[in-house]
Amino acid sequence: METSKRRHPLMMLSEEDLDFITQFVLASGSLKEMAQLHHVSYPTIRLSLDRLIASLQKSVNGEPPDPMTDLLADMVERGEIKVAVAKSIRTVHKNAIDRMKEMEEPE
């Protein structure tokens, strides 16, 4: 049997994300309860969970974290921008990165 030296994906998350997961589990997965606990709206807590899921998926796949998504999620959590604005910015950013990658590919 081969032993893997790779760290567990959860261990790649920030302490803040691990705290969120702990609170989420203790709240029995209730986003409504999480929103009340954090004094934010349901869409804001949903965005936080979506960000955490994306980070975990990237960690599982061995991909680096996306600093733009993390920045936008933090701004939404602080009330600096709305969820819809963050999603629009993230989409524009992702499309720009995809176009840059296409331009770099040899023909």
Please tell me whether residue 25 adopts helix, strand or coil conformation.
helix
Please state the rounded mean pLDDT for residues 8-24.
87
pLDDT-derived band at 30, boundaries 50, 70, 90: very high
**Is the pTM higher than 0.75?**
no
Per cent of the chain over pLDDT 70 is: 93
pLDDT of residue 5: 65
φ, ψ of residue 92 to 5 degrees: the values are: -60, -45
Q: Does residue 2 carry a pLDDT above 50?
A: no
